[in-house]
Amino acid sequence: MNTYCFSLYICYTCLWFFAACTPTDSSSSRSATQESVHNTAQDIVELTPEQYATAGIQLGTIEHKVMHNILRVQGMLDVPPQNVVAISPHIGGYVQSTPLLQGLRVRKGQIIAILEHQDIIALQQDFLETRSRLEFAEAEFQRQEALQRDNINALKALQQVTAEYKSLKARYAALRQRLALIGIHADSLHDYSIQRSYAIRSPIDGYVTDVPITLGKFVSPHDILCCIVNPSHIHAELTVFEHDAPKIRVGQRVRLVLSNEAHERTAKVYLIGREISPERTIRVHAHLDREDESLLPNTTLSAAIELDNQSVLAVPDEALVNINGTEYIFTPIHQLTTSQPFSNTSNSRQYSFRRIAVQRGITIGGWTELRALPQATVPPVTLIVVKGAYTLASMFSQNSDHE
């Protein structure tokens, strides 16, 4: 009997010990609730009526906006090859005079340099001598041809004259073309009109970009007198990586900003390159919507290619703030309407706002897409702070410092 009572005593003692060490469900639930309330309180900021009036807070809603997926690329301004000319002399010579300066505007046909050299004189002399010999050879050919018809001369004599005549005709034609290249009219050339210099003229309208010559310098046909660029059809050359190439289509809209400008320009995709460079990129040719001759080729730019349209939830740019690397929007608590967002009862002496973490998407025209938006917490009709969000963010920072 004593053994039975002792065993019963031991069992009751163990049960009491385990019951005392095990927390009850009510205490565990109460602890979790307190932690949740604490975390929620960290996302709420309260303003006094004076602070609210000073902050200039305005409310709005999250709206549906049609936006584009954006592909951000780099590039530069360029001109077509036919709008860039590197000018070299056809016959070498010494620079007698030139009005060229970098940036100078020139017109097609305008004299850009005058060269002089003894080869120019020799070319004219050769032409005049060939022309004189051709006149004699032509007369001799006609005479031998007439004699041959009457069987008076030998056929060999006619053949020799014919060969000489044709050779002089070819030489005469070639010399005429060489004179035309340097702007000398062969028909008006005589022994008393031989000139020792010739003028080089601009073949296009444009601006001078490079002048590597000086007065008295000898310039050969292999040297460049100057470069002229016509910016009337300047365009954007964009560099797109290989894996993004299938996304590009002709006609897509491009928004670009030049490195030396702050405002945005627009363009459209006109051509897509069909060759992949060693850097695994392709070239995309875009035409500017508004051409501007004041733009300079080779100016670097950053561009955004609009790929396709989609309806997204968006807020004004001012509604988003960044706090410690996280994007937030603010929504009022106890909201009623946009004009009266808070109750004015005696129990509501504060203006309370809750911050909600979101993910920023694309930004177009002052609106920013919201991604990873907690829809259960913020449905599209919920009021949010569209102006004054930075003031609320600063108050969060002040509260964190105090804590």
Q: What is the pLDDT of residues 252-297, one digit of tens each?
A: 999 999 998 889 999 999 999 999 999 999 999 999 999 888 888 8
Give φ, ψ of 34 to 5 degrees.
-60, -40
Assess whether 317 and 300 both reside in one domain: no
pTM for this entry? 0.58
186 is a domain residue: yes
Structural contact between residues 354 and 330, judged by C-beta atoms closer than 8 angstroms: yes
**Residue 395: its H or E element:** helix 389-402
C-alpha 387/C-alpha 321 separation (Å) is 11
CA atoms within 13 A on the CB side of 317: 6
Is residue 177 a contact partner of residue 66, using CB atoms and an 8 Å limit?
A: no
User: Do 97 and 215 form a contact (C-beta atoms < 8 A)?
Assistant: yes
Whether 343 is covered by a domain: the verdict is yes
Residue 10 falls within a domain, yes or no? no
Do 259 and 282 fall within a single domain? Answer: yes
Could you tell me the CATH number of the domain that includes residue 278? 2.40.30.170
Q: Are the C-beta atoms of 265 and 290 separated by less than 8 Å?
A: yes
* Long-range interactions of 80-85: CB distance < 8 A, separation 24+: 80/233, 80/235, 83/204, 83/206, 83/229, 83/230, 83/231, 83/232, 83/233, 84/227, 84/228, 84/229, 84/230, 84/297, 85/202, 85/203, 85/204, 85/206, 85/227, 85/228, 85/229
Q: How many helices (H) and strands (E) does the chain have?
A: 6, 21
Question: How far is Cα 385 from Cα 57, in angstroms, rounded to an integer?
Answer: 7
Q: Which of 309, 329, 356 is the last residue of a domain?
A: 309
382 and 323 within one domain = yes
Q: Note the pLDDT of residue 334.
A: 62
Specify whether the CB–CB gap between 401 and 345 falls below 8 A.
no
- Phi first, then psi, for residue 232 (nearest 5°) are -65, -20
How many domains would you assign to the chain? Answer: 3
Same domain, 245 and 302: yes
Give domain status of residue 13, yes or no: no
What domain range is 362 assigned to?
43-68+312-402
Segment holding 309, helix H or strand E? strand 300-316
- Statement to judge: residues 397 and 316 lie in one domain: yes
Do residues 163 and 245 share a domain?
Answer: no
Phi and psi, residue 375, nearest 5°:
-60, -35
Domain co-membership, 344 together with 394: yes
In a domain, 17, yes or no: no
**Boundary of a domain, candidates 274, 309, 344:** 309
Residue 120, classified by CB atoms within 10 Å of its CB into exposed (0-12), middle (13-18) or buried (19+), is buried
314 closest CA partner among 242, 241, 254, 365: 365
Query: What's the DSSP call for residue 161?
Result: H
Provide the CB-side half-sphere exposure for 247 (13 A, CA): 17
As a whole number of angstroms, the distance between CA 21 and CA 245 comes to 66
> How does DSSP classify residue 232?
G
Pairwise CA distance, residues 206 & 107, whole Å: 7
State how far the alpha carbon of 65 is from the alpha carbons of 266, 309, 312, in Å: 20, 10, 5
- Residue 197 corresponds to which tokens in the numbers above? 């210099």
**Between the CA atoms of 264, 266, 270 and 271, what dihedral angle is there, to the nearest 10 degrees?**
10
Are 300 and 339 members of one domain? Answer: no
Find the length of the chain: 403
Give the pLDDT confidence of 45-54 residue by residue, as tens digits.
888 888 887 8
Check if the beta carbon of residue 256 is closer than 8 Å to that of residue 264.
yes
Please tell me the predicted confidence (pLDDT) of residue 362: 77
In a domain, 374, yes or no: yes
Name the stretches of the chain with pLDDT < 70: 1-42, 334-349, 372-382, 397-403
Indicate if 58 and 139 belong to the same structural domain: no
Q: Among 276, 309, 342, give the residue marking a domain's end.
A: 309
Residues 303 and 345 in one domain: no
**Does residue 23 sit within a domain?**
no
Same domain flag for 303 and 356: no
CATH number at residue 371: 2.40.420.20
Whether residue 108 is contained in a domain is answered as: no
Residue 304 sits in the same domain as residue 317: no
